[in-house]
Amino acid sequence: MSADRPISDSAVPQITRGHRLQFEPAQDCHVLLYPEGMITLNDSAAEILQRCDGQRSVQAICTDLSAAFDGAEVTADVHDFLKLAASHGWVILA
């Protein structure tokens, strides 16, 4: 995915095969594990990736996160993170 190409609200993100999201008690945070290593995630990234289940659209993820955080405007942040995640191969967008 090109960094300048927008993500469609109807796209359905899913964590890429070979990657696994889990909470790491020793680091007190969520991490994304993959065969070559581990990515330590901030709370926002973890909240987004927890919703990348291959069932929910980008719009549904934004709506759910906004509701979870008292109506906060999250759309731009979700789109920016998903572009980054897709460019690194952490998620696919169907």
Q: Is the pLDDT of residue 1 over 80?
A: no
What's the confidence (pLDDT) of residue 32? 98
How much is the average pLDDT of 5-26? 95
In a domain, 1, yes or no: no
Residue 73 has pLDDT above 90, yes or no: yes
pLDDT tens-digit readout, 39-72: 999 999 999 999 999 999 999 999 999 999 999 9
3 found inside a domain: no
Domain-located, residue 30: yes
Q: How far apart are CA 77 and CA 49, in angstroms?
A: 13
**For residue 18, is it within any domain?**
yes
Predicted local confidence at residue 4, as pLDDT:
64
Residue 3 predicted with pLDDT over 60: no
Is residue 88, in this structure, part of any structural domain at all? yes
As for how many domains the chain has, the answer is 1
Model pTM score: 0.92
Integer angstrom CA distances of residue 26 from 23, 29, 39, 40, 67? 9, 8, 14, 12, 30
> Domain of 19?
13-93
Q: Give the containing element (helix H, strand E) for 19.
A: none
Instruction: Report the CATH number at residue 36.
Output: 1.10.10.1150
- 4 in any annotated domain: no
In degrees, to the nearest 5, what angle opens at C-alpha 52 toward C-alphas 50 and 54?
135
Does residue 7 form part of some domain?
no
Percent of the chain residues topping a pLDDT of 70: 96
Does any domain span residue 20? Answer: yes
